Structure 1
Amino acid sequence: MFSGKRPTNELFGGNFTMRSYIKSAWPERVLDVADKWILQNGLRIGFPVAECLTLVLDVGLRCSEESPTNRLAMSEVVKK
């Protein structure tokens, strides 16, 4: 939702997945992987887009850890 890309996008293949794409940009370059619609609308109204994307993408990355034991519990997701 936040990148504007689908997991089946031609960009992804082999070991390069949507998760690795987001992880490669987090936290310093989150605006580089953000959907342009989010950027245009958020920046237009003065919303702190980079700060919010950093937080949301962190939760997404932590929820999509390869090992289920390393993933955030839903109770922690709600708090974040």
Structure 2
Amino acid sequence: MLNLNWFKRKGIFFIPTTWIGWMIFAIAIVYMVYVFIQIDSISHSVSDTMINFVFAVLVISAVYTLIAYLTSYKNKTSI
């Protein structure tokens, strides 16, 4: 198994620690902005925009969290 330490866990958040982690974080943020602009261009109201955007943010955040979880530093504690 590869020892990837792209992220470090702080509570429930994953903080990037390498340039690859920061690139993944930046791509997620840029994609969220892009999705917001796309959703806003076809929406008819503010509530329509926010409902669709919140769902998109949840999906993007879930993918980011999964990648960060799989590539984060894991403490090896023995019982």
Fold conserved (TM > 0.5)? no
Smaller-chain TM-score range? Answer: 0.3 to 0.5
Q: Which has the larger radius of gyration?
A: 2
Q: Normalization by structure 2: what TM-score? A: 0.37
- Structure number with greater CO (CA < 8 Å, separation at least 6) is 2
Q: Normalization by structure 1: what TM-score? A: 0.36
Relative to total residues, which structure has the larger helix share, 1 or 2? 2
